[in-house]
Amino acid sequence: DLATAFNDRGQIKYLRVEFAAAMEDYTAAIECQPGFEVPYYNRGLVLYRLGCFDEAMKDFRKVLELNPQFEDAALSLKQTILDKEEKQKRSY
């Protein structure tokens, strides 16, 4: 389906370190199928790597709302919270 195709294309772009283009595809996948948790997770990973911790946490929380058993999203959310706190302690 279209949402899976966008997500898969986003993965290719992510692996090429084309983060902005990957996020566009993940967002397109979400728009096609808002209940599909995987592109939220993938977009969250990109946001995390870019240091956009609040936005990443929002996506990881959405994944867990849609699928509470998504363990990687739970781990990523915890790591994002820790990294955000560490960044605030160092205030940079």
Predicted local confidence at residue 40, as pLDDT: 98
Low-confidence residues in the chain, pLDDT < 50:
none
Predicted local confidence at residue 92, as pLDDT: 58
pLDDT digits (tens, 9 = 90+) for 21-40: 999 999 999 999 999 999 99
Domains and CATH numbers, the chain: 2-91 (1.25.40.10)
Predicted local confidence at residue 3, as pLDDT: 98
Tell me how far apart the alpha carbons of residues 69 and 32 are, in angstroms, rounded to a whole number. 23
Q: Which token pair is 48?
A: 């995390």
**The pTM is what?**
0.94
Tell me how far apart the alpha carbons of residues 10 and 26 are, in angstroms, rounded to a whole number. 6
